[in-house]
Amino acid sequence: MNRKIIIAIDGYSACGKSTLARQLAKSLHYTYVDSGAMYRAITLYFIRHQISYNEANHISVALQGISLEFRQNENTGNSDIWLNGENVEKRIREIDIAEKVSEVAAIPQVRKLAEKCQRDMGKNKGIVMDGRDIGTVVFPHAELKLFMTADMATRVQRRYEEMKEKKGNVSLEEIRKNIEERDYLDTHRKISPLKQASDAILLDNTHLTKEEQLDFALALAKKVIDGILT
């Protein structure tokens, strides 16, 4: 299993993309990149600096002031996103960021910046990246593409549990509203909208355990790496 590939995982909000991407990266000793964290961190910067989303000049100047990096967290073993030298991994999961991120992610200059970083990170392959446009725009030639979904009630419940664990005080209804809004904005934006690439494999994990979804994806990845599946 020496050939390194790129695995692109796209799909709707809160359907378990990052869980699967992290599992796959761990099993294959690949790097996991959470592209959504980049859009969330940029959103945090825009909120803090009160950047107006409609002013192209302000946006360009603001983006010059942003430095993003992923650093390994020794305690969790995951990689956290840092914004201008500050670990913002926890902060960007809060609901105020979720409420604004899809608007920020639709801004052309924002996407250009994030996509460039994402392509650089994939230069040497051996990477699992999840997002909305990874298999369609960022890595259209990724060797393995998955498109994930799950039914709405399951996604809302999963995100609710996740936020409760992190001590977030958000209701099921707020989460449902946010997920529905983001699904709409992400699938309807002009640039790089969320859609299934024609060569992506659909994975509906509504009734799958974490282990089952990993087994499914890992079997595919191994076949691709071994050249059995193209």
| Torsion angle of C-alpha atoms 142, 120, 105, 196, degrees rounded to 10 | 0
CB of 210 to ligand CDP, least distance (A): 15
Q: Which is nearer to ligand CDP, 133 or 143 (CB)?
A: 133
- 149: β partners: 204
- Both structure tokens of 61: 């100047």
For 185, counting Cβ atoms within 10 Å of its Cβ (0-12 exposed, 13-18 middle, 19+ buried), the class is middle
Instruction: Rule CB under 6 A: choose which of 6, 8, 13, 221 binds ligand CDP.
Output: 13
- Both structure tokens of 190: 């002009």
Separation of alpha carbons 9 and 131, rounded Å: 6
CB of 1 to ligand CDP, least distance (A): 27
Cβ burial 140-179 (10 Å sphere, 16+ → b, else e) = eebbbbbbbbbebebbbbbbbeebeeeebebeeebbbebb
User: Counting contacts by CB under 6 A, is residue 14 touching ligand CDP?
Assistant: yes
Instruction: Rule CB under 6 A: choose which of 101, 144, 148, 163 binds ligand CDP.
Output: 101
Separation of alpha carbons 210 and 164, rounded Å: 19
196: helix, coil or strand?
coil
User: Counting contacts by CB under 6 A, is residue 145 touching ligand CDP?
Assistant: no
Q: Which is nearer to ligand CDP, 51 or 105 (CB)?
A: 105
- Both structure tokens of 147: 């498109």
CB of 17 to ligand CDP, least distance (A): 6
CB of 225 to ligand CDP, least distance (A): 24
- Both structure tokens of 10: 């796209």
CB of 34 to ligand CDP, least distance (A): 7
User: Counting contacts by CB under 6 A, is residue 182 touching ligand CDP?
Assistant: yes
CB of 122 to ligand CDP, least distance (A): 12
Instruction: Rule CB under 6 A: choose which of 80, 89, 143, 186 binds ligand CDP.
Output: 186
The answer to whether residues 37 and 208 touch, using CB atoms and an 8 Å cutoff, is: no
User: Counting contacts by CB under 6 A, is residue 35 touching ligand CDP?
Assistant: yes
User: Counting contacts by CB under 6 A, is residue 83 touching ligand CDP?
Assistant: no
Fill in the per-residue mask, 190 to 219: x = in contact with ligand CDP (CB under 6 A), - = not in contact.
------------------------------
Q: What secondary structure letter does DSSP report for 12?
A: S
> What residues line the site for ligand CDP (CB under 6 A)?
13-14, 18, 35-36, 39-40, 101-102, 105, 131-134, 182, 186
